[in-house]
Chains A and B, each alone.
Chain A
């Protein structure tokens, strides 16, 4: 065996563990889910398992609860992703400007992200509790009346989004801060010499230069937001009146509480399609913007 071939083989051997896990834990389940989605596959009636073509997809299309879950998911995505972007960017810019104690602030901002979602939800349940919660205690101190954060339909989803922002914005801010710190200072110095104000410098120099990182954070957070499950499941259990039950939670209930794996797989594929469409559109839009 030549030296070059041996080098190649070594490379493949290093990649093999990941490639194997990729095949077994990603490709195989995707294929299984694809097969399940065209089957009537109910664990409580295994003798009735059969191929039913697109029936699961047409049933899901007509299922009002799928629509309701998709709408709840869309509300979460639309509220969460832009808010996360604005908040994280503001924190990153602030951190970048601070010279003294930057690491302390960075640590503080990053801290909530190291909690598990279970811990985060328990903490925020205490904040949101109608009778004994921290937020309502503060409101009452100023003479206000208690706000039903989690039991009022119009407030429940924004409350979940607020918790998610607290939990996740630190990590995104740290990523954006790293990209801000990569920008050579000479660009900003040149802009200052040319008389550009801070907004112009930010919009014409900073933003274009961090756009690739922004694209990455928007894409990953959009995909993550579409998969929202534990936040609502732990905080509101999908209520009030199922208004915060997202698509993944509904898929979980169908698959693991109703045992209808075929139907759940079909809805999973529908959600995957939605995520892919959003992802591709965002990717194209932001790349076009970057090129300009």
Chain B
């Protein structure tokens, strides 16, 4: 074998290995930096902000190399789950607080108590948010942000209708929806039915689970909330006929004056030109203020070595401490100290949505959350279409979700209890 053939074979081997590994580091060519893989579903403008934060972290920490992989949320959880089970998961990854129960049960999350003890002040988070991170007394993630549902308004439509401020209660809301309605426009439209409904539950003292641990979707508060949502069509005729995703599309097209949606939709508006929008808390429709919320949380995979764990902790600490930049991508930081900065308070939509944090309610922490979501969505759809009363629709949703809970408990012999 000639020297040239030998080098050729070696390069071929390196190239082959790099293709199999999915990167281009090989043997002695690899740097001495500690590599950290970071996965998330931030495929929109928020991903660009995250990428800039990672570049800065890598520059400030020359011994660490964080590489980010963005995967659309629709595919993301499958990949995290399967790779995590196989021990090939990313070192650091983003999980919604609502998905933690399943992920923790699957064993793809590592406890992160040491990080709270050493680098991140736990008292800088709202106690309710911290509770979402705990399973059997251990913390499994660091909340990066909070994304409450809130109200987006078209300020031009509001002004043209003679209104000077966002509606704050039921009467103002109904009046605003009415005066902004015309043959070409609607004052209000539903977006994600399930989330629109769940946003009202805390306002009516509704809940998902009863004190006995059973599903209680047809409790009086939930029924009242759904009755109100149904009445927007059946009684007041204020919303468009139900059709797929009409609400947000209509809002973007300036044909809908108000919608309720998550703060994460702000990224979509930031890209629009000529849209005069504002954010506001969801009006008090029920007995008091309240809304639905969730969080992006930062998690570690189990089984990391000491060096990699230290580098990962440094990275998570950096993201958490610099979450004001993350807020710029259209998010509400989970850290209270960040939300109290003058810079954050200047962010009109984020700050308005953040006002709701003391009264927000997260999704229930049950392993069959997906199944419950399908049932709740179906119940809301039936009521909006006038095919069932709120009580009837929620009773069916309640029974079916309880059946899924029972099946899950029977198959797994224990249901995860926070």
A-side residues, CB < 8 A to B, are 40, 42-46, 48, 125, 129-132, 148, 150-151, 236-237, 239-242, 253, 256-259
Contact = CB atoms under 8 A, between A and B. Distances in A.
A245 B106 CA distance: 28
Contacts of B85: 43, 46
A237 B78 CA distance: 19
A40 B78 CA distance: 18
Best-surrounded residue of A148, A150, A241 (most CB of chain B within 10 A): A241
A148 B243 contact: yes
Given A130-B241, A148-B241, A48 B370 contact: no
A253 B404 CA distance: 14
Given A48-B412, A151-B243, A258-B370, A131 B81 contact: no
Nearest to B193: A239
Interface size class of B (residues with CB under 8 A): 20 to 34
Nearest to B387: A241
Given A131-B240, A241-B378, A46 B246 contact: no
B244 A151 contact: yes
Contacts of A129: 243
Contacts, number: 68
A129 B255 CA distance: 14
Given A44-B102, A46-B85, A257-B370, A130 B411 contact: no
Contacts of B287: none
A259 B81 contact: yes
Given A43-B85, A130-B246, A131-B250, A48 B413 contact: yes
B411 A45 contact: yes
A242 B241 CA distance: 18
A41 to B, nearest CB: 10
A70 to B, nearest CB: 17
A243 to B, nearest CB: 11
Contacts of B411: 40, 42, 45, 48
A255 to B, nearest CB: 9
Contacts of A148: 241, 243
A148 B82 CA distance: 40
B371 interface: yes
Given A130-B243, A131-B250, 12 more contacts: A44-B103, A45-B105, A125-B244, A131-B240, A148-B243, A150-B243, A150-B244, A151-B243, A241-B378, A242-B378, A257-B77, A257-B370
